[in-house]
Chains A and B, each alone.
Chain A
Amino acid sequence: MTRRIVLGLFKDFDQAFAAIAEIREHKVPGVSVDDVILKSPIEHPEVEEVLGERPAHVPKFTLAGAIFGMTFGFLFLASAQATFLVQPQGGKPVVPLPSNFVLTYEMLILFGVLFTLVSFIVGAGLFRRRPPLYSEMISLDQVGVMLEVEEEQAEALKELFRRHKVVEIREEAVR
């Protein structure tokens, strides 16, 4: 069975959201709102209201990075300072907490930022081959609604898009 990817380009968010609302109401049998990929030049603040909650695990990685940075930072410093055991400390502790706090804090932030970056790149699916049916109009001023559907559903979907004044429809077969 052949599957097709259909992209509808709309002039603004209102028209695109209206089209998605109809998809949510199963106006195209067999097509779910969970299959919708919304492409836009900006992030609409209400996009989650329209598409529903979708996961983004960036904060968990950030927390993991911060904890790793803090632990690594302190242990790194402490293990380096432990090599001074053979030397006179002038009455100071071998592992001084006040000064190590400052450097541990810096490491916490550094690794927190690095883990955030990595989780963003992985989570957002960057570095992969560009998704099909990319339109340069999306980076300009149009909003795209893209779905992968069965071939027999494609015509109904395009008709739905047309009802909401779609500017352009593009499609291609899934390879």
Chain B
Amino acid sequence: MQTKDINEQIAWAKINKDVLRSMENPRSGYWIAVGICVAMVLVAILAEIYQYNAGLGVGNLNWPHMWDLYIATFIFWIGMSHSGTLLSAILHIVHADWRKPIYRFAEAMTTFSLMTAALFPVLHLGRVWNMYWVLPYVSDRGLWPNFRSPLIWDAFAIFTYLTSSALFLYVGMIPDLAICRDNAHGWRRKLYTVLSLGWAGTDRQWRHFRKAYLLMACFLIPLAVSVHSIVSSDFAMSIMPGWHVTTFPPYFVAGALYSGCAAIITLFVLLRYFFRFEEYMTIPILEKTVKLTFAIAMVWSYLWIIEFLAAWYGGHKADVEILVSKFTGPYSPFFITMIFCGTVLPFTLAFERLRRHLPTMFVVSLLFNLGMWLERWMIVTPTLAQAYHPFAWNVMWPSVVQWAIVFGSFGWFGLLFLVFVKIFPSVSMYEVKEMVYHRRRHVVEELAVKYHRRAGDPQPVTDNPGT
């Protein structure tokens, strides 16, 4: 059984070779994946063109259901973006070096999730041409946006998070881009020469790099918390039953970390399989990620239970009715599936054999994210379906147009990610070298030979060999 996070005897040259190989010569499977993603995006574009011309009614978005799958999916993608912050920034600060082979694609996920999430507030407006109204831009009558509104906060938060996470991803990649520059030809060499900014690996450059990267990590952690807290404020600062909940900010942040971790597991399995990264994305690293996911799943479960207990104990009639309707109303199958995927299923992670089984972890991680997406939908829609005014009660099911746009967002994310892994290194070469270097210095071969327990060791001698 593999117990080491990485083989510390692996040569540095081999690390370069393996990672650079993953960026070359896409195979047919890659182009099939790209084709599927492009098709999904095209279908979504057609749906959006139709919705743009016909109005939001074709998505079944009518009063009181002004927010539905679009906003639920917006929250889902914002949540997904927390994976990079957790794995990269938090674990970097606490010197958890097992993150090094897997943080790069998690950071890329953060940036691409935000680029996907940012589409939804635009799409759900209907009048997409008025999107700039949320920007801090003064009109010709001298009026500014309402800075008291959480929707404006969203615009600020997403812009800041997207800028910061993209810069964090880029800065962390500069030493690797120099490696790419030194090994590439043609247009790639030109691209990497520009992007690597003349990196030469001098002590001065490393010294400034280390400080800048650490400081950016320090900024990114509170930023990630603030972004999802702000997104939760879109709901918590309203007076709608089921939304006006004090625990929403931590609940949203926990859910974000949960879905982000689940997505990391999914992509871990895919990259390991398709790019033959078995020596870098090892089973012990997967196990650590899975354990982290389990812990976050328990935090998230606690918070949603607390949310419902507070509504139950508080006795506010509208809140209690929303709560009961989630368990017994028309949306109950989705709500119960959410509980199963989000709270019950994580207990599979308690079993070591399952934690180390890649196909199981792949399926389970997809189900976790299904649960997290349902969670967002179950936050948005049931409250709108049954708010304070009984005359406005209305169960709504999303139309094909909404589903097409939502599925298209997954295609868009997938397309960005597929392009990324073929142009940029999805494993951080210099950090894996650092990891190998440090671990190598901690392993003294003579001591290992002398003290490690092995299968061929002499058996214990018993007092009475006849029994």
Contacts and interface: CB of A to CB of B under 8 A. Distances in A.
Interface of A: 37-43, 45, 47-48, 51, 54, 56, 58-59, 62, 76-77, 80-81, 83-84, 92, 96, 99-100, 102-103, 105-107, 109-110, 112-114, 116-117, 119-121, 123-131, 134, 136, 138-141, 144
A83 B209 contact: no
B226 to A, nearest CB: 6
A103 B197 contact: no
Contact of B142 (A83, A96, A99): A83
A93 to B, nearest CB: 10
Interface of B: 11-13, 16, 136, 138, 142-144, 147-148, 152-153, 156-157, 159-160, 163-164, 167-168, 171, 174-175, 178-179, 182-183, 197-212, 215-216, 219, 222-223, 226, 230, 430, 433-434, 437-438
A153 B205 CA distance: 27
B219 A126 contact: no
Nearest to B199: A126
Contacts of A107: 156, 160
Contacts of B160: 106-107, 109-110
B147 A77 contact: yes
A140 B153 contact: no
Given A41-B201, A105-B226, A62 B434 contact: no
Given A117-B212, A123-B208, A103 B201 contact: no
Contacts of B200: 39, 130-131, 134, 138
A80 B147 contact: yes
A136 B182 CA distance: 6
Contacts of B219: 109, 112-113, 116
A134 B215 CA distance: 29
Contact of B215 (A58, A125, A129): A58
12 contacts: A37-B203, A39-B200, A43-B434, A47-B203, A76-B136, A81-B147, A83-B144, A84-B144, A99-B147, A124-B207, A138-B200, A140-B182
A32 B199 CA distance: 25
Contacts of A113: 163-164, 167-168, 216, 219
B163 A38 contact: no
A68 B16 CA distance: 41
In this complex, the member of A48, A100, A105 whose beta carbon has the largest number of chain B beta carbons within 10 angstroms is A105
Nearest to A133: B200
A71 B216 CA distance: 20
